[in-house]
Structure 1
């Protein structure tokens, strides 16, 4: 069976890439113009712009909602203040002014069977946990979904230390298990290109600056500075700032040559994109886009587990609720 899904905060389509084997994307939304260019080159459609201008009633019906949403600070007004203004208090109302609110209003209007949300690991601890608690309350208590959350490190599937939180929700209280991801994965050397232009090699000036910067902070007892990668292992996390100097992931080139930064194609591979994925923007834009993307193989495994849960249709009963939770995993139920 094929499923219709929508792709919100779509970026360059990393989550869509993982879900395409299971259905059809019927709506996409991404505000960044350069990301729209990459998305259109690869999927043949240009996403709608700012989600805040999207009327939720006009979003096509869909089975699964996908969103790698930004984490914005939540301004949580008190119940008493809302009542004094004659406004009904509700968790959904508390998220107004944030981009999560736009996801919530679409879920409320369209009632998809399931959703997958992705964010940085620190979403759990943001504002002393208040942000995450509000998100959970909206999804469970106001929207009535059964949710499962887990922080997954992609380094067992791609050669990159990349921890992200994934929130999976179902309209029915379905049984769901996150995929088991290997603790050890491919080496960084497996994604490196055979021939790389010298323009990716750091200049003497930049390399000297980075070494002096690291030495200065080492004397202060902290670890700020460049990251010279071990190509037989995995890299640091690729970030959107990689375009600045590439300092967090530098590839050694021997004793007589300065290290180099990754090429955009190598960044694509580091995130698990296939080599057929088109890079049609400048290097600067490409570095930002891949740094902001998801690790595609992780999402592909989650997608497979979500589809299995939907098609198995095993509904959890009260007697099934006894679970042991670890620090890295949190399972929440709404019945």
Structure 2
């Protein structure tokens, strides 16, 4: 009998193939949650399905992820049978229904004919209406979710997970503790299938070195289109003075470069609440139509790339759409380093379980 020695690299490849976890990306947005899991799992994860309702977000997603599958649309119209088997469900279900900054309608929230508040249950439907239920369901939402409707909304969500055979763990984390200069609190839910659930799941509390706004600024010169006009600056001052007279806290805010940004949001005063003063050399000639002249105080908005950096997206991430769309998308997205840190802890739990129940 002739004996063959199998090269170690072949054995290694075989082992790697056996340890690939399959994931689906629901409410995918521009792929921030997926990116965090990809960074934590490396070659040990493969995304096999993605769903996103917003077409501009889909365009950004496609520009940055090379997938063989098409991005599915409205999750309410997707049957569980249409989704390949998977180990991990990533679901950043819409937060507007529960946001402290919004109308907080919760399960009754309606947007373009879609009940945004109930989309969590579509996530659960896709995970549980199948023979092989996934090992992990990962969700992200606004920090106000646990107190919405006096806690009843959150109790309903956790109760639904438990009823369908999952053990949920949750924690509010702040992005400023994970290597990005942004004060952004969000709640993260990690639900393990009960047969593999650990007794406890310890969320990370921090990762990476602390950064300030100046650490994420683009190199000069910055396009003059990001510098506010003197006319608009005066409008902002009047707006803030009006609200201050009424006892409100609304208005623009100029951030110290050695401090951190406030939470970036997709609309309203999102950009104006995170203005900076940038005295570096730049053109004073407008490149867009503005009223008045470029302000001489050097006040400007952060650029879309700087917003991407506030969310921890690498500079290799392609920004192909208009500034308006990009501000909206990064304001709606997640902080990648926070996701990566949590995903690394999830991987530790899954790897400790060995091959039991893994999708082949």
- TM-score normalized with structure 1 length: 0.83
The change in CA–CA distance for 1:256 and 1:204 in structure 2 (over 3 A counts) is: closer
The change in CA–CA distance for 1:97 and 1:232 in structure 2 (over 3 A counts) is: closer
- 1:257 offset after TM fit, Å? 2.4
**Contact 2:264/2:270, CA 8 A, preserved across alignment:** no
Question: Which residue of structure 1 lines up, in the alignment, with residue 125 of structure 2?
Answer: 105
**Among 195, 208, 212, which residue is 1:187 paired with?**
212
**Contact 2:94/2:117, CA 8 A, preserved across alignment:** no
Question: Which residue of structure 2 lines up, in the alignment, with residue 268 of structure 1?
Answer: 308
1:201 aligns with 2:219: no
Question: Which residue of structure 1 lines up, in the alignment, with residue 180 of structure 2?
Answer: 158
Question: Which residue of structure 2 lines up, in the alignment, with residue 89 of structure 1?
Answer: none
Cα distance in structure 2, aligned partners of 1:207 and 1:250: 11
**Among 243, 246, 258, which residue is 2:271 paired with?**
246
Within 5 Å, give how 1:214-293 maps onto structure 2. Answer: 214-241=240-267, 246-254=271-279, 256-293=296-333
1:18 aligns with 2:44: no
- 1:145 offset after TM fit, Å? 0.5
**Contact 1:229/1:249, CA 8 A, preserved across alignment:** yes
Question: Which residue of structure 1 lines up, in the alignment, with residue 3 of structure 2?
Answer: none
Cα distance in structure 1, aligned partners of 2:322 and 2:91: 25
- 1:129 offset after TM fit, Å? 1.1
- 1:183 offset after TM fit, Å? 10
Residue by residue over 1:270-310, the C-alpha shift from the partner in whole angstroms, topping out at 9 and shown as x without a partner, is: 10000000011111001100000000000000000001011
Cα distance in structure 1, aligned partners of 2:334 and 2:84: 24
**Among 195, 199, 203, which residue is 1:178 paired with?**
203
- 1:108 offset after TM fit, Å? 0.8
Cα distance in structure 2, aligned partners of 1:102 and 1:54: 9
The change in CA–CA distance for 1:229 and 1:167 in structure 2 (over 3 A counts) is: same
The change in CA–CA distance for 1:49 and 1:15 in structure 2 (over 3 A counts) is: same
**Among 67, 74, 83, which residue is 1:50 paired with?**
74
**Contact 2:264/2:271, CA 8 A, preserved across alignment:** no
Cα distance in structure 1, aligned partners of 2:309 and 2:107: 34
Question: Which residue of structure 1 lines up, in the alignment, with residue 164 of structure 2?
Answer: 143
**Contact 1:38/1:279, CA 8 A, preserved across alignment:** yes
Residue by residue over 1:24-56, the C-alpha shift from the partner in whole angstroms, topping out at 9 and shown as x without a partner, is: 100000010000000001002442111111111
Secondary structure, in 3 states, of the residue corresponding to 1:248? Answer: helix
The structure 1 segments of at least 4 consecutive aligned residues displaced by more than 3 Å after TM superposition are none
Question: Which residue of structure 1 lines up, in the alignment, with residue 83 of structure 2?
Answer: 59
Secondary structure, in 3 states, of the residue corresponding to 1:132? Answer: helix
The total of aligned residue pairs comes to 293
- TM-score normalized with structure 2 length: 0.77
Cα distance in structure 1, aligned partners of 2:172 and 2:228: 34
